[in-house]
Amino acid sequence: MSTVTVNISFQDALLRDIDRVARGEARSRSELLREAAREYIRRRERWTGIFGAGQALALQKGLKPDDVATEIAAFRGIKRSRA
């Protein structure tokens, strides 16, 4: 797999935090940032799938946005009463 070098601008404080964490994990800044980018993409794709499934279910059941909000509030009320 080939690699490409890119230039990214960071505020000084953020770059210090990145370097501190990288040093603490005995790895390079590049390794840390690559992992951070992969994790962000993985998490974003996961949430896109979750929201997509929710939208499909709402469409299937003919729910409107207000219906969804009402269901969430009811569920949270049931959950609180069990605690």
Alpha carbon distance 25, 9 (integer Å): 22
- Lookup: tokens for 72: 């969430």
Compute mean pLDDT per 10 residues along the chain, 83 residues long, and list them.
Answer: 93 98 98 97 96 90 86 83 70
Q: Which H or E run contains 3?
A: none
Q: Which tokens sit at 53?
A: 């499934």
* Distance separating alpha carbons of residues 32 and 38, to the nearest angstrom: 10
Report pLDDT for 83: 62
Here the tokens at position 15 are 């770059």
Cα separation, 32 vs 35, whole angstroms:
5
- Give the pTM: 0.69
